[in-house]
Chains A and B, each alone.
Chain A
Amino acid sequence: MSAAAIGPIAPIALPTGSEVAGPRRVGDGAAFGDVLGDAIASARANEATATDLAARFAEGDTSVGIHETVIAAEKANVSLRYATTLKNKLVEAYRELMATQV
């Protein structure tokens, strides 16, 4: 198996402009865009950590343990799934909005 570095996850450009109204805050809740941004940032950070640990483990770095490497990979997996789900929800909501008959 080659140890080619995985490129970082590019941030998704949120829809801006007149098509979508600005983020609405209900009470003290966070804007959905902020939650999504946070999730993506988390996913990037976790993926970077996992890749770094895996690379160091493969090189024989004795400070990296097996369970640390495996758990980091699992976290990266979950974080990416979460961010993807949020993105899908946003796209779905956008499409629904666009399909609304005015």
Chain B
Amino acid sequence: MPGCVSRIYDAVNRLEVAMSYHRERHSVLASNVAHLDTPGYRPVDLQRAPAPEATQPWLTAPGHQVGPAGGETRTVVDDGGALVGPDGNAVQLERELAKIDANRVRYGTSAELVSRRMALLRYAAGDGNS
């Protein structure tokens, strides 16, 4: 079937989009850490909402190239709590570091899953020969 070859990368494409989200989120969280002592700074986070077609992959046209955000919307949201210091800074270091750690693990996991999927496809593409 024409176009069926590009469909084998569907899972990898979704993982690639996830990886780009985690990379962007790291930048945002790194900003929070850099602004630990900036007066009036409120911490932010990056939220994502999956594209409608992500849950219905059969709607994607064959050969459709997934863009960097894969159609998902990412928004910067104010993530500061009520705890505000005397200079107006609302960053809580421990919270940010925990988020950075969790984000790092998710990025690494996505990378690992891509690796394994590619190894599988390589094996199949070589008809069982490594």
Q: Which residues of A contact B (CB under 8 A)?
A: 30, 34-35, 38-39, 42, 65, 67-68, 71, 74-75, 77-79, 81-82, 85, 89
Q: Is chain A's binding surface mostly helix, strand, loop or mixed?
A: helix
Closest Cβ neighbor of A82 among chain B residues: B125
B12 contacts chain A at the CB level, 8 A cutoff = yes
Shortest distance between the CB of B103 and any CB in chain A (Å): 14
Shortest distance between the CB of A79 and any CB in chain B (Å): 7
- Complex Cα gap A67–B125 (Å): 22
- Complex Cα gap A83–B21 (Å): 32
Q: How many positions in chain B have a CB within 8 Å of any CB in the partner chain?
A: 23
User: With A38-B3, A38-B5, A81-B126 known to touch, is A67 a contact of B19 (CB < 8 Å)?
Assistant: yes
Q: Which residues from 71 to 130 on chain B have a C-beta closer than 8 Å to any C-beta of chain A?
A: 111, 114, 118, 121-122, 124-127
Q: Which residues of B contact A (CB under 8 A)?
A: 1-6, 8-9, 12, 16, 19-20, 23, 68, 111, 114, 118, 121-122, 124-127
Closest Cβ neighbor of B129 among chain A residues: A85
In the complex, the answer to whether B125 meets A42 with C-beta atoms within 8 Å is no
